[in-house]
Amino acid sequence: MNGVLLILVLWLPSAADALTLADLRTESRALALDNGNRLRFSTATIDGWLNEAQRVANLDVKAIRKSSLFETSAGTTYYALPSDFLQIARVTWKYRELGETTPEALAGKVGWNWIEAKGQPTSYYINFSSRTKIAFYPWPDTGQSTGTVRYEYWAQTTNMKATTDEPFGGTAEFNPHHHFLAYYAAGHMAAIDGRADLAGLYLGLFKDGLDRFRREINDRPSYRPGLTPGMPLNRTVP
């Protein structure tokens, strides 16, 4: 275990530097002691674990949030969502925020003929039978009830393929957190090698990094809702 601690001490990536796929691959091998002349794990295998770690982290934390818009058209209920869509975060129509509902909730409220309701949208829903599309209730039927829909959504990650690719789409804010992905790959490598203690250590460090990632990307230390705009700060003069 002393050798493992030495590896961890030697591998202290700069918090400001982004790590590429090549960097993470190298660090995974170093942690799993697979950096000799004869490598036990293929590049494709390690890359698979690194991309899996990225997906696990994003699904758990919902790190990637994007925005988009489209125009509704009369007579159309369903509209396609982006290919990287994961979950909806917020929807507005003509700058009016719409609440989410479900077909079951609408049926319980107004009956199963809710699908025939038309007019200006008051809510949206994503039917489990068509998860890649968003729909509106009521559905727009004339030019009076069409307009611009603006929405924010949590997006899926894109697999790293090129050696220069960075995790989480290269978002600079996430740079300090890249390194914990290597613990996931190294943990799997150690487990296959039969080193259960080392695998447990690395997967535990991955979980710790995941918890830190979740906590810090949602932290806004300068957010002060009680601050009155334009008011001078109270300062104590020494």
pLDDT tens digits, 96-136: 999 999 999 999 998 989 999 999 999 999 988 888 899 99
- Residue 230 pLDDT: 67
Q: Domain limits at 105? A: 68-155
The dihedral region occupied by 194, where left means phi > 0, alpha psi between -120 and 50, and beta the remainder, is left
Residue 17 CB coordination number (10 Å): 12
Query: Domain tally for the chain?
Result: 2
- Residue 183 pLDDT: 98
pLDDT digits (tens, 9 = 90+) for 33-77: 998 888 999 999 999 999 999 999 999 999 999 999 999 999 999
If asked whether residues 149 and 182 sit together in one domain, one would say: no
Q: State the average pLDDT over residues 147-158.
A: 96
Residue 226 lies in a domain: no
If asked whether residues 123 and 188 sit together in one domain, one would say: no
Residue 98 lies in a domain: yes
Look at residues 33, 73, 61 and name the one whose alpha carbon lies nearest to residue 180. Answer: 61
Residue 234 lies in a domain: no
φ, ψ (nearest 5 deg) of residue 225: -60, -20
Both tokens of 224, joined, read 């002060």
Residue 96 lies in a domain: yes
- Residue 237 pLDDT: 53
If asked whether residues 96 and 141 sit together in one domain, one would say: yes
If asked whether residues 89 and 136 sit together in one domain, one would say: yes
If asked whether residues 97 and 144 sit together in one domain, one would say: yes
In a 10 Å sphere around its CB, with 0-12 CB exposed, 13-18 middle and 19+ buried, how is residue 95 labelled?
exposed
Residue 99 lies in a domain: yes
Tokens 């050696």 belong to residue:
163
Give the sheet arrangement for strand 96-97, strand by strand: 65-71, 148-155, 85-93, 96-97
Look at residues 43, 84, 71, 88 and name the one whose alpha carbon lies nearest to residue 149. Answer: 71
One-letter amino acid at 40 equals: R
Do the beta carbons of residue 152 and residue 65 sit within 8 Å? yes
Residue 237 lies in a domain: no
If asked whether residues 75 and 106 sit together in one domain, one would say: yes
If asked whether residues 57 and 72 sit together in one domain, one would say: no
CA 30 to chain centre: 27
Do the beta carbons of residue 89 and residue 154 sit within 8 Å? yes
Q: How much is the mean pLDDT over the chain?
A: 89
Look at residues 141, 53, 139, 135 and name the one whose alpha carbon lies nearest to residue 88. Answer: 135
Question: What b/e string do you get for 111-122 counting C-beta neighbours within 10 Å, with b at 16 or more?
Answer: eeebbeebebbe
